[in-house]
Amino acid sequence: MKRLPPVAITALVFVAGFATCAAQFPNFASTRVVANLLTDNAFLGVVATGMTFVIISGGIDLSVGSVIGFTTVFVALSIERLGMPPIAAFVLLLLLCAAFGAVMGAIIHFFDMPPFIVTLAGMFVARGVSFLMSTESTPITAPLYSDVSDFAIMLPGGGRLTTIALIMLGVVVLGSVLLHFTRFGANVYALGGNRTATALMGVAVGPMTVRIYMLSSVLAGLAGIVFSFYTAAGYSLSAVGVELDTIAAVVIGGTLLTGGQGSVLGTFIGVLIQGLIQTYINFDGTLSSWWTKIATGILLFAFIALQQAIVRLARRSRPRGEGVAKP
């Protein structure tokens, strides 16, 4: 129950925002707009799902944007230059990402370092390596890519539910199941609530940390694949700053940055709210794109202040020791 209020508020904000847009622009409330909202933010939704796990466990992962950039370059080069079949490239890439995340998680746990600085170094490494591989934009011409972009489920009203939107929805559903209905998910909440208590309860904290960062990096890799479907190119400067958008989406989705509380569904709606702001600005036409950043900042502030108030209220009603949301 404790997890419900922030998500409900996020959902309300989204509905209110959508209603405002629909009232202002007659064509807004169509399946076309909604489907585009899902397609344009597909990669953000995938990577934000992974970030939700990390943040609920009390960590943070700043490397995801660079991992997406690395992925697009890696996929483009291995398909176009080395002639690898796309599927093989994807598998190899996801394995690489898993190893990358595992190393970061291991360093965080075994050297007791702040996740912030370790993933910062990871961000430099991933971006640096993608620069080293190629600084040019490489178009991907593999037939799989045109197949993927041609395929879509047609919705009534002209909306096209594209492959990458479906991938994102799939990740969100699987992520929700993993977080809310498995032992792994329960442990993630426990870690964010109180690390020491969790270790004393018999959870192997080290392997858990490693797995959480592996999950985040693998999902960032998947997001990179989705991004490469979206742009049909690999470019080492793609997805700069996405880590911030991702964290913002997770926070707006009601996940507590101190860990211990949050949900994948909230994150999903947080992603949609960011997409909604962008879409509104596109529809309006007179507003400039930098209003997106300002609006996101204001929303971030509002939600963090709200969380702060909720946490303080909870602390006041109980002496201390609020934290773990699930047993």
Q: Which positions touch another protein (CB under 8 A)? A: 60, 107, 110-114, 116-118, 120-122, 124-125, 127-129, 131-132, 135, 206, 244, 247-248, 251, 257-258, 288-294, 296-298, 300-301, 304-305, 308
Output the furthest CA–CA distance in the chain (Å, rounded).
Answer: 63
Q: How far is the CB of 196 from another protein (least distance, A)?
A: 16
Q: Which two tokens stand for residue 294?
A: 């300002």
The span from the CA of 12 to the CA of 245, in Å, is 20
Residue 209 belongs to what H/E stretch?
A: helix 205-231
**Dihedral angle over CA of 282, 284, 287, 291, nearest 10:** -60
Minimal distance in Å, beta carbon 58 to another protein?
11
Identify whether the C-beta of residue 7 lies closer than 8 Å to the C-beta of residue 254. Answer: yes
CB of 247 to another protein, least distance (A): 7
Q: Shortest Cβ distance from residue 191 to another protein (Å)?
A: 17
The upper half-sphere exposure of residue 161, i.e. CA atoms within 13 Å in the direction of its Cβ, equals 11
Q: What phi, psi does 234 have (nearest 5°)? A: -120, 125
CB nearer to another protein: pick between 35 and 214: 214
CB nearer to another protein: give 9 or 35.
Answer: 9
> Which two structure tokens, joined as six digits, stand for 283?
């529809």
Beta carbon of residue 231, minimum distance to another protein (angstroms, whole number): 20
Instruction: Report how far apart, in Å, the C-alpha atoms of 316 and of each of 194, 309, 323 are.
Output: 19, 10, 13
What is the C-alpha to C-alpha distance for residues 239 and 48, in angstroms, rounded to an integer? 13
The answer to whether the CB of 41 falls within 8 A of the CB of 274 is yes
- The Cα–Cα gap between 27 and 38 comes to 17
Q: How far is the CB of 120 from another protein (least distance, A)?
A: 6
The one-letter amino acid at 39: T
Cα 271 from Cα 285, distance rounded (Å)? 22
Kindly state the smallest distance separating residue 255's Cβ from another protein, in Å: 11
